Amino acid sequence: MGALQMTEKEQMQKNVEEFERLQDYMISTDKDSEGYKKMKRRYIALKVILTSSGINITELDMIKE
């Protein structure tokens, strides 16, 4: 394993942190904006990644869309 390769735990932590940060941006952005629509696509992808990895995002999900 190379030095730059993340462990599964590190990758999941990164995804959780990105999910939290992305939601903060979404909350402060107009829902009709192009930026919000792009963020929402990433939000959905992260929800799928985290859920399929067995992470319960119920408490983390502030958007709930």
Does 27 score more than 90 pLDDT? yes
Question: Which pTM does this prediction carry?
Answer: 0.85
Per-residue pLDDT for 44 more than 60? Answer: yes
Residue-level pLDDT at 21? 97
Which of 10, 57, 33, 59 shows the shortest CA–CA distance to 25?
Answer: 33
Q: Which of 43, 13, 12, 14 is nearest to 26 (CA)?
A: 43
Q: For 40-62, give the secondary structure using H, E and C.
A: HHHHHHHHHHHHHCCCCCCCCCC
First to last CA, the chain: 38
